[in-house]
Amino acid sequence: MPAADHKLAKLIRLNPLVQRFMLYQRGCFAAGTAISCQGLAENNADARVLAVCSENMVGCFQPPSETHLDVLVGSALFSDGAAAVVVGANPDTTVKERPSFQIIPAKQAIIPDSDEIIVAKIREMGMAYYLSKKLPKVIANHIEQSLMETFSPLGIHDLNKLFYVVHPGGPAVLKQIEEKLGLDNDKLKASWHVLIEYGNMWSPSVLFVLDEMRKNTTEEGRAAAATAATIMEGLEWGVLLAFGPGVTVETVFKGLCETWRSELELHPDFHNTSSTILASTLHIRRLNTRNPGLANTNTSSRLDSRTGSNQAVPGNGTFIDVRRLLGDYWASLSWRGRLLPGWPYGRHF
């Protein structure tokens, strides 16, 4: 202590009066909880909320074990990562804020009798964890029921009529979700891409997936318009799914913002179906680990507090390069400032 939020606030020169909240021990579903902070923005005029997810896997590293094969699975899948989003209400067009998603109120649920499915405990050697082989089926079975209960009243009975931002927990998890929900092959394409390229980064993972969806449906993705069309064409509603210890499932319901209609004309019939709910804007930039030079393109490296607001807002940009901002603090969290040799996906960081 002081914790990472204190260090980050100083690095990006936030007003000392900015409110800060830390979330610990939530694992892979923490990003869903963080995005649910739209209530802070909606209840504070002109507020903007910076939500940062950062994970470091050094403390979880364990050597292979003949008796605990789940450790081998974790070593193969887990990787470091960081991502950030800025959430707000009532976009300010004078500073060219361009919202990507409308956030509909989220819900959180604990799957009954699942306490022992994902377990992690702090030991002298670091964090020891256990992953049950039942995990993929447990998650898939719960998600189907949750989605049907939510979208049936809206007249959506075919789950292929939604776009999906799903935490890439692992190949078995994604396959079970596809099979249980009867999804088309390309529905979880963004999740598969993040899993293959970056691994399971715990909480930042689903934000990486969200960024893949954003890139394919904005000006950045015009060249990939055909891909975007197969994923999101004509779809007004979507869902972000994150799941972790508990087993806890975070479900964030999303709608597309109208700005996308003018950019790619994917939604000619878009309309505000939730006029009583303030639309929250969400901007995200993936931590570009393959080419750090690209991470700063069209971004702002600092945030300032608006007059009369106690939340963080973007300065002259809408994205935040978390790795550059955290810099030396990120390195100090790693064992001797570096990853273990041969760590899966370690080359990205």
The answer to whether 268 and 54 have CB atoms below 8 angstroms apart is: no
- At 276 the pLDDT is 20
Domain ranges of the chain: 4-348
DSSP 168: -
For 132-179, the pLDDT digits (tens) are: 889 999 999 888 888 887 788 778 888 998 989 999 999 999 999 999
Question: Which H, E and C letters describe 35-96, residue by residue?
Answer: HCCHHHHHCCCCCEEEEEEEECCHHHCCCCCCCCHHHHHHHHHECCEEEEEEEEECCCHHHC
Residue type, 276: T
- At 235 the pLDDT is 77
* Active-site option among 28, 37, 53, 257: 28
Question: In this structure, what are the phi and psi dihedrals at residue 48, rounded to the nearest 5 degrees?
Answer: -130, 135
Residues 6+ apart with CB under 8 A from 275: none
Rg (Cα) of the chain, in Å, rounded? Answer: 20
Characterize the bridge pairing of strands 237-244 and 163-166: parallel
**Residue 257 designated active-site:** no
Report mean pLDDT in 10-residue bins for the chain, 349 residues. 88 88 82 78 80 87 79 86 86 78 78 85 80 90 84 83 92 95 93 94 92 72 45 72 84 60 29 25 33 28 32 32 38 32 30
What's the CA angle centered on 32, arms 145 and 212, to 5 degrees? Answer: 95
Beta-carbon-side half-sphere exposure of residue 68 (alpha carbons within 13 Å): 11
CA–CA separation, 189 and 177 (whole Å)? 13
- At 255 the pLDDT is 66
- Indicate the CATH number for domain 4-348: 3.40.47.10
